[in-house]
Amino acid sequence: MQKSKVEPVDPLREHVYDGIQEYDNRLPNWWLWTFYGAIIFTVAYWFYYHQAGMDQPNEVILARAKAEVTARAASLSKGPLTDDQLWSLSLDPATVAAGRLTFVSTCASCHGDNLEGKIGPNLTDQRWIHGGNPAQIVQTVTTGVAAKGMPAWGPLLGAKRVNEVVAFVLSYHKKGEPMVIDPTATATGKP
């Protein structure tokens, strides 16, 4: 299988290390230019961000990005819904079904699969800790109650899904039913 020498022109170095020889080929040009390119990019990058002052604090970048998202969202939103609108949503099967999906994945772990209450309170009875009007429920879901371990879901779910989930909760209730506001009610429901 002895093959003839492939590149007899390659310069071989004199010294042999334990039988290992070394050519002294030139560095490939594309390799050199990759290296030079990265170095030039480094100089330019540093100049742009740390000399020309284009490096902005995280807060500024984030605030700008947030403003863009908010502006786009505002152009799509139609403002908060009224109690009546929410009650009528609670009669719309498609909205309630969508709300149920969100409830099961987001709320059921604390409020129970059947809203009977576990870590969080029962949502089927007429006793409310933070108000039982539809708009009040939307408010509680959106901003949360940090002291009692209810997270603020507004930023995570968005207005549409919050409305759907509230409609789903309202589907367990009737418009005009009696309501007790009881801020001292225990957070843990007793099913």
**What are the beta bridge partners of residue 128?**
181
Nearer CB in complex with other proteins: 51/82: 51
Q: How many residues does the chain have?
A: 191
Stretch that binds other proteins, among 79-87, 127-135, 152-160, 173-181 (CB under 8 A): 152-160
Residue 105 C-beta: closest distance to other proteins, Å: 6
Collapsing DSSP to helix, strand or coil, 60 comes out as: helix
Interaxial angle between packed helices 154-170 and 134-143, expressed in degrees from 0 to 180 and rounded to the nearest 10: 150
150 closest CA partner among 102, 182, 109, 90: 109
Asked if 156 contacts 76 with a C-beta cutoff of 8 angstroms, the reply is no
Nearer CB in complex with other proteins: 79/178: 79
Nearer CB in complex with other proteins: 142/173: 142
Residue 154 C-beta: closest distance to other proteins, Å: 8
CA 182, 185, 187, 189 dihedral sign is negative
Residue 145 C-beta: closest distance to other proteins, Å: 10
User: Rounded distance, CA 20 to CA 30, Å?
Assistant: 27
From the list 91, 97, 101, 156, which residue makes contact with other proteins (rule: CB under 8 A)? Answer: 156
111 to 71, 98, 187, 190: CA distances (angstroms): 34, 17, 10, 11
User: Rounded distance, CA 169 to CA 164, Å?
Assistant: 9
Nearer CB in complex with other proteins: 52/94: 52
Nearer CB in complex with other proteins: 123/173: 123
Task: For residue 18, state whether it binds other proteins (rule: CB under 8 A).
Answer: yes
- Number of residues in contact with other proteins under rule CB under 8 A: 69
- Within 26-85, which residues bind other proteins (CB under 8 A)? 26-28, 31-32, 34-35, 38-39, 41-43, 45-46, 49-51, 55, 58-59, 61-62, 65-66, 69-70, 72-73, 76-77
State phi, psi for 95 to the nearest 5 degrees: -65, -45
Task: For residue 12, state whether it binds other proteins (rule: CB under 8 A).
Answer: yes
Task: For residue 24, state whether it binds other proteins (rule: CB under 8 A).
Answer: yes
Stretch that binds other proteins, among 12-20, 79-87, 88-96, 122-130 (CB under 8 A): 12-20
